[in-house]
Amino acid sequence: MNTAYLRAENVEQAIGWLQRHPQSRLLAGGQSLLPMLRWGLGEASHLIDLQDIGQLRSIENAKNDVWIGAMVTHAEIARHPLICEILPFFAQVAAQIADAQVREVGTIGGSIAHHDPAACWPAAVLAGQAVLVTSERQIAADDFFPGLFATSLRRDEILLGIRVRHGVRGAYRKHEHPASRFAMPGVALARMPEGAIRIAVTGLGQGVMRWQAAEQALAGRFSQHALDDLDLPAHHAESDVHASAEYRCDLARVLCRRLVASLAGEDPEPLLPKRSAAPGLPPTALPAAFTPTTGLDSTFRIQGEALLAASPDVIWQAVLKSEVLQACIPGCDQIQEVAPLRYEAQVRVGLGPIAARFSSQVSLTVIKPVSASRVAHFLLQAEGDAGRLGQAQATIDIHLHPMAQGTRLTWSALPQLQGQLAQVGQRLTQISAKRLSEEFFTRLSAILGGEPLASVRRPRWSRLAHAFRRWCHRYTRKKGEPR
Ligand SMILES: Cc1cc2nc3c(=O)[nH]c(=O)nc-3n(C[C@H](O)[C@H](O)[C@H](O)COP(=O)(O)OP(=O)(O)OC[C@H]3O[C@@H](n4cnc5c(N)ncnc54)[C@H](O)[C@@H]3O)c2cc1C
């Protein structure tokens, strides 16, 4: 798609263009949007540049709060005298973002609107209970980040800036990725003017979140020791090439303790707290959460199960039919059987902000054939080529356990991505795979329950869109729908 460049002189003009061109995108610093477009991970008919809109570039001290315009860059925030004096917490966050080049052009508004799950600003504005001011309304930070790469901004709504109340104090720490400096994870802690403590964690993989258990623990006693018995459960995080979910959550816990220790004037405890060490081991022993994973398998294997109201034989006969597979596989535009148990398919898959179209080969291998009394076992191997975006492979182990009524189907898979998909999509693989397989088995259940294929397939895009809209990209968003 050819992309036209438009430079808005004011907010009204930008909104008019957004409404007139449904495939247009707002352009702030371009540090997230342009790489996505360059890599072919999204499309834009028009880029609407906001840099000439002075209203979006100001920092002001109002009666009750500080105003930071959406187009203010990270670097401007880091060095602005007013921010350094009244809101040093935000200057500290800005100074930790990326490198000098990115900080000079990347903006606070672009970062908040993009809601990368590893970005720093979402944690700061959520902890600092900022108010996000848009062209239509004011949105509390608590209501702004519904999920990964998603915000409550509407398609033709522009973030104008944020307001942070006077008297908000805070601090931010992250364990940064050595190449990009994105948080993996990062913890922002703020004390409100009336004394309440708010903690927000980013970089866990599912979008920014409040850690309310820690807030409550600190409300009674502001000391790192108030957190002694507290863990951040691993289900809040995702595993990826860089770290397991357990590791990320434990890092967030350690970062939070260190933040509290420094703010409370306490000596920080060593990185590996005694509490986590196994009983009887010396204090320097690695706690379980810091034990390196034993390789790809334990980090990336995903698994699940489904209870289906049909015998293993009926299920097996159903999945052998290409029309059933096409109806069940989300995003499958076309599938054909090219040889017994071998298929070729065209499948569109969303990985966070990426929409990739795969030409895929799928094969089924029977390890233990279906029987009424024994567990059946087969392998589904899939290889997909998404052109210049890269390739994906997965081997899915499937077991059918006969039960008195129906079948328990268990599956586990080891998805792997190569090329650009791996760089951008690997951290999203697990979430996508989980949702796609849930959708697959929901549809298979419906078909086995007698629902016609056409009706299972018909809501495919709307169901997918609904599932993805809550957590993924802005490239497919439609007018009037939340991002
Ligand atoms: C090498 C590198 C390292 C980085 N490291 C970090 C890091 O350590 N921590 C961190 O937090 N970030 C990091 N970033 C991201 C950086 O902070 C970007 O500045 C930020 O993610 C996006 O801001 P932007 O101004 O470039 O927005 P753009 O890329 O221009 O836009 C991003 C998205 O927001 C939308 N948008 C922009 N402005 C508005 C608005 N006013 N209203 C509504 N929608 C809007 C756009 O349409 C687009 O969808 C890094 C980026 C790079 C390239």
- Distance (Å, whole) CA 68 – CA 55: 10
Are 170 and 310 members of one domain? no
CATH code for the domain in which residue 49 is found: 3.30.465.10
- Indicate the residue among 158, 178, 210 that finishes a domain: 210
Task: Give percent above pLDDT 70 in the chain.
Answer: 83
Residue 268: Cβ within 10 Å count:
13
- Indicate the residue among 152, 180, 210 that finishes a domain: 210
| CA 80 / ligand 1 centre spacing (Å) | 20
CA torsion sign for 145, 146, 147, 152 is negative
> Which atom, in ligand 1's list, is nearest to the CA of 35?
53
The residue contributing the CA closest to ligand 1 atom 27 is 110
Are 205 and 306 members of one domain? no
Q: Is 229 helix (H, G, I), strand (E, B) or coil?
A: coil
Residue 344 phi/psi, 5-degree rounding, is -120, 135
Asked, for residue 244, whether it belongs to a domain, the answer is: no
- Indicate the residue among 210, 240, 268 that finishes a domain: 210
Are 187 and 334 members of one domain? no
Asked, for residue 296, whether it belongs to a domain, the answer is: no
| CA 173 / ligand 1 centre spacing (Å) | 19
Q: What is the pLDDT of residue 277?
A: 35
Q: Residues with beta carbon inside 6 Å of ligand 1?
A: 25-33, 50, 70, 97-98, 102, 106-107, 109-111, 113-114, 116, 119-121, 153, 158-159, 180-182, 474
Asked, for residue 270, whether it belongs to a domain, the answer is: no
CATH code for the domain in which residue 418 is found: 3.30.530.20
Are 204 and 308 members of one domain? no
The residue contributing the CA closest to ligand 1 atom 32 is 110
Are 331 and 196 members of one domain? no
Query: Cβ(164)–Cβ(246) under 8 Å?
Result: no
Query: Cβ(208)–Cβ(187) under 8 Å?
Result: no
Asked, for residue 366, whether it belongs to a domain, the answer is: yes
| CA 52 / ligand 1 centre spacing (Å) | 17
Asked, for residue 293, whether it belongs to a domain, the answer is: no
Are 27 and 175 members of one domain? yes
Residue 141 phi/psi, 5-degree rounding, is -55, -35
| CA 120 / ligand 1 centre spacing (Å) | 11
The residue contributing the CA closest to ligand 1 atom 20 is 111
| CA 224 / ligand 1 centre spacing (Å) | 33
| CA 123 / ligand 1 centre spacing (Å) | 14
Are 202 and 313 members of one domain? no
| CA 19 / ligand 1 centre spacing (Å) | 22
> Which atom, in ligand 1's list, is nearest to the CA of 180?
3
What is the extent of the structural domain holding 119?
4-210
The residue contributing the CA closest to ligand 1 atom 39 is 110
Residue 449, by phi and psi: left (phi above 0), alpha (psi -120 to 50) or beta?
alpha
Are 59 and 205 members of one domain? yes
| CA 157 / ligand 1 centre spacing (Å) | 17
| CA 404 / ligand 1 centre spacing (Å) | 54
∠127-70-77 over CA atoms, to 5°? 70
- Distance (Å, whole) CA 399 – CA 379: 9
Asked, for residue 368, whether it belongs to a domain, the answer is: yes
- Distance (Å, whole) CA 345 – CA 362: 7
Asked, for residue 252, whether it belongs to a domain, the answer is: no
- Distance (Å, whole) CA 33 – CA 44: 10
- Distance (Å, whole) CA 72 – CA 110: 9
The residue contributing the CA closest to ligand 1 atom 31 is 110
> Which atom, in ligand 1's list, is nearest to the CA of 25?
47
Are 22 and 164 members of one domain? yes
The tokens for 79 are 């060095």
Which whole-number Å values give the CA distances from 91 to 72, 81, 169, 328, in the listed order?
Answer: 12, 9, 12, 50
The tens place of each residue's pLDDT in the chain, 483 residues long, gives 789 999 999 999 999 999 999 999 999 999 999 988 877 677 899 999 999 999 999 999 999 999 999 999 999 999 999 999 999 999 999 999 999 999 999 999 999 999 999 999 999 999 999 999 999 999 999 999 998 888 999 999 999 999 999 999 999 999 998 888 899 899 999 999 999 999 999 999 889 999 999 999 999 899 999 999 999 999 999 887 788 889 999 999 999 999 999 999 888 776 554 444 333 333 333 222 222 222 233 345 677 888 888 899 999 999 888 888 888 888 888 999 999 889 999 988 766 566 678 899 988 888 889 988 899 998 888 888 888 778 888 888 889 999 988 899 888 877 777 777 766 655 566 666 766 777 788 888 888 888 777 666 544 434 433 333 333 334 334 444 444
Asked, for residue 225, whether it belongs to a domain, the answer is: no
**pTM tops 0.75, yes or no:** no
- Which mutation among 25, 33, 74, 133 tests ligand 1's pocket best, with the greatest number of atoms within 8 A of CB? 33
Are 309 and 206 members of one domain? no
The residue contributing the CA closest to ligand 1 atom 40 is 159
> Which atom, in ligand 1's list, is nearest to the CA of 134?
42
Are 351 and 463 members of one domain? yes
> Which atom, in ligand 1's list, is nearest to the CA of 112?
34
| CA 66 / ligand 1 centre spacing (Å) | 21
Q: What is the pLDDT of residue 436?
A: 76
Are 69 and 200 members of one domain? yes
- Distance (Å, whole) CA 130 – CA 141: 6
Compute, in degrees rounded to 10, the torsion defined by CA atoms 386, 1, 112, 152: -90
Which whole-number Å values give the CA distances from 70 to 100, 111, 464, in the listed order?
Answer: 19, 9, 31
Give the chain's domain count.
2
